Amino acid sequence: MADKMTLEKFEEACEIVGKVTNKTGLMYSQCFSEQTGNKVYLKPENMQKTGAFKIRGAYYKISTLSEEDRQKGLITASAGNHAQGVAYAAREYGCKAVIVMPTTTPLIKVNHTKEYGAEVVLYGNDYDEACAHAVELSKEHGYTFIHPFDDLDVATGQGTISMEIFKELPLVDYILVPIGGGGLASGVATLAKMLNSKIKVIGVEPTGANCMEQSLKKGEVICLDHSATIADGTAVRKPGEKIFPYIQKNIDQVISVPDDELIVAFLDMVENHKMIVEGSGLLSVAALKHLDVKNKKIVCILSGGNMDIITMSSVVRHGLIQRDRIFSISVLLPDKPGELVRVASVIAKEQGNVIRLDHNQFVSINRNAAVELKITLEAFGSEHKQRIIKALQENGYTPKNISVNI
């Protein structure tokens, strides 16, 4: 293990990767700093070429191959970001690339991979099934297989992020890094510890695909029965065998984050930083509230930003509902002229904005006794929502919270 990921190789990777990557300088986050009582910086790899950090490992790995291996054609499996990295690097080196992607991969990632000139094969329900098929195809056609994370050269390329962080922020205390299979985390953590052994590197996984957390607890690589998360880039059931020892040695802690917190983090990122970051990329930001530290310099690696529009719209809607920015209530009122206006007036006085009404006259046999009015509203948040509900109660109504249907 000791002679594989070395400082010399990281330095070489930095020089090679620097030829094709964008400069993703650290961004100080006022909002996350205020929320946590720390100095929080973002490493926006969502602004990278191909929209994610994966171009680093893919390009460096392909640079280490012989011309003979490159000309055999390259093949890999990926949920999208590694796919684009390999496709881009293959185009730069003038060789064929075949990418096996799960059938659930967002359309934007599929299309962008094709745009770089790669042949895309859709197979399987998740990364692991796609990877098994890619291995079969590599044997069948003689392609050179490029593993998305369980490869020390790939991990070395990803670790170049640490060198850039230290050049900008030499006194960084914590680095928060997303974990899927572990390629990014192993590279970042290994180089970070070489540069400063006192730094804390925290890995972050989605709760629905926490294979690394479970593997570390058991002391060996384990495979989850299934993965279930909106963070498709980290929806991995089994971490890498080759990189696992590096994770054991250099990662200080692994935090798992539920999807609900990723949804809220997406809203924070859009509203406060005007950036689109995919679920996997938001893991590091969502983990901030789980860190019990103050007055530390923390870097959150935003690993990618390739999110399709349909997913984005769904995440925004659910995020607004979670934060009580959109909510629905039902009230019962007599079926007589003026009652609807009266309810609307109460809401308007409290600055609530009605976005949908459903007036059901048939909720009761006695319409004079009860007609149901379902109201969906916009509010500024939970406190504002409670003010609106209280105002309705003070005016003789009994509002009930109901599921939002928009």
DSSP sequence for 376-400? EEE-SSHHHHHHHHHHHHHTT---E
Reported as a single tens digit per residue, the pLDDT across 76-110 is 998 778 999 999 999 999 999 999 999 988 787 88
CATH 3.30.70.260 fits 324-402, yes or no: yes
Domain ranges in the chain are 7-52+153-319, 54-145, 324-402
Q: Is 147 helix (H, G, I), strand (E, B) or coil?
A: coil
- Residue 200: which H helix or E strand, with range? strand 200-206
Answer whether 207's CB lies under 8 Å from 259's CB: yes
Q: Report the mean per-residue pLDDT for the chain.
A: 92
Identical fold, 7-52+153-319 and 54-145: yes
Q: Is 372 helix (H, G, I), strand (E, B) or coil?
A: strand
Reported as a single tens digit per residue, the pLDDT across 162-215 is 999 999 999 999 999 999 999 999 999 999 999 999 999 999 999 999 999 999
- Residue 361 to residue 372: CA distance in whole angstroms: 7
Q: What is the pLDDT of residue 369?
A: 58
Reported as a single tens digit per residue, the pLDDT across 217-239 is 999 999 999 889 999 889 889 99
Task: State pTM to two decimals.
Answer: 0.88
Reported as a single tens digit per residue, the pLDDT across 117-174 is 999 999 998 888 999 999 999 999 999 999 999 999 999 999 999 999 999 999 999 9
- Residue 154 to residue 17: CA distance in whole angstroms: 11
What's the token pair of residue 235? 């929806």
pLDDT of 393 above 90: yes
Phi-psi region of 364 (alpha: psi -120 to 50; beta: other; left: phi over 0): beta
Beta bridge partners of 44: 302
**Of 307, 313, 316, 255, nearest to 286 (Cα)?**
255
Answer whether 54's CB lies under 8 Å from 84's CB: yes
What's the token pair of residue 65? 């191959």
- Residue 41 to residue 289: CA distance in whole angstroms: 15
pLDDT of 1 above 80: no
Reported as a single tens digit per residue, the pLDDT across 284-339 is 999 999 999 999 999 999 999 988 888 888 899 999 999 999 999 999 888 788 88
**Of 203, 219, 296, 206, nearest to 252 (Cα)?**
203
Q: Is 332 helix (H, G, I), strand (E, B) or coil?
A: strand
The class of domain 7-52+153-319 in CATH terms is alpha beta
CATH topology of domain 54-145: Rossmann fold (3.40.50)
